């Protein structure tokens, strides 16, 4: 059985990590299948939003320990860089990716979730970076993305203690967008995904690029990035369609052109 399951619903694709027997721990095969699936989505203009979730009790529990225990300095660094490259691809993906966090999101699982653009957690979810407990540090972007999301002080606490936090605590510190009942998680994610899928694709892509490119830049440089992407949106069919639809009091039909 595939370690990645895909379910299409209109313009939304649900990707399910499918190694429930090991709490969806990442192995090399899962990384490759996830990357290949996203490359297909990027080329398919009819898919406008992606949801990533996990099968069973976990979103993802981190790297496969059977693989990690064999790593040395060189192979460990290569593995980290490969995972970082994939998660960078996710962070800068031109279509919104929503993490629907069911159960455990630990280690690399949390690193995957925080690379996504939006996060919805089930009320029973546990989120953490427990790598320190086995003598390593987060290697898939956790020491870099987590402080940018929740601040340096809270990131130090999560990473140095290795203790997971509840979904409610994750919401309080801005780590997730919302917390919902477990049985409502996928429907909530699909509703949000469908809402985003109805937005103009070029403006969505430019929003992602503007925020990601400008967030660590000096303010003036960020403003220049925003102005350039604003100009790009102004030259599209979708801009004209959006304004016409608003004035005519009808629903716009965006084409991504």
Q: Which two tokens stand for residue 89?
A: 């691809």
Ranges of beta strands (E only) in the chain are: 4-9, 12-17, 49-54, 58-60, 97-101, 104-106, 118-122, 126-128, 165-166, 178-180
Helices (H) and strands (E) in the chain, counts: 11, 10
Contact criterion met (CB below 8 Å) for 190 and 161:
no
Active site residue 183: no
Identified catalytic residue from 33, 40, 43, 111: 111
Contact criterion met (CB below 8 Å) for 97 and 116:
yes
Active site residue 33: no
Identified catalytic residue from 123, 131, 157, 172: 131
Contacts of 139 (CB under 8 A, 6+ apart): 63, 76, 79, 80, 83, 84, 131
Cite the active site residues.
111, 131
């Amino acid at each position: 059985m595939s370690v990645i399951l895909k379910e299409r619903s209109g313009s939304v694709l649900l990707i399910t990590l499918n190694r429930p027997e090991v709490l969806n721990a990442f192995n090399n095969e899962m990384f490759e299948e996830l990357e290949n699936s996203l490359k297909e989505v990027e080329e398919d203009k009819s898919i406008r939003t992606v949801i990533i979730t996990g099968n069973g009790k976990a979103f993802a529990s981190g790297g496969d320990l059977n693989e990690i225990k064999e790593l040395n300095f060189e192979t460990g660094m290569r593995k980290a860089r490969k995972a970082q490259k994939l998660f960078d691809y996710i962070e800068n993906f031109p279509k919104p990716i929503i993490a629907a966090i069911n159960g455990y999101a630990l280690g690399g699982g949390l690193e995957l979730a925080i690379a996504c653009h939006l996060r919805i957690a089930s009320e029973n979810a546990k989120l953490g970076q427990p790598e320190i407990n086995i003598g390593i540090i987060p290697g898939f972007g956790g020491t870099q993305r987590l402080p940018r999301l929740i601040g340096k002080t809270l990131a130090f606490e999560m990473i140095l203690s290795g203790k997971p936090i509840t979904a409610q605590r994750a919401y309080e510190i801005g780590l997730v967008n919302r917390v919902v009942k477990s049985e409502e998680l996928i429907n909530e994610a699909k509703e949000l995904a469908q809402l985003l899928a109805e937005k103009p694709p070029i403006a969505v892509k430019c929003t992602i690029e503007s925020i990601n490119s400008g967030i660590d830049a000096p303010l003036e440089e960020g403003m220049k990035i925003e102005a350039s992407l604003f100009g790009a949106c102004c030259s599209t069919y979708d801009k004209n369609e959006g304004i016409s639809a608003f004035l005519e009091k009808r629903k716009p039909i965006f084409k991504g052109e």
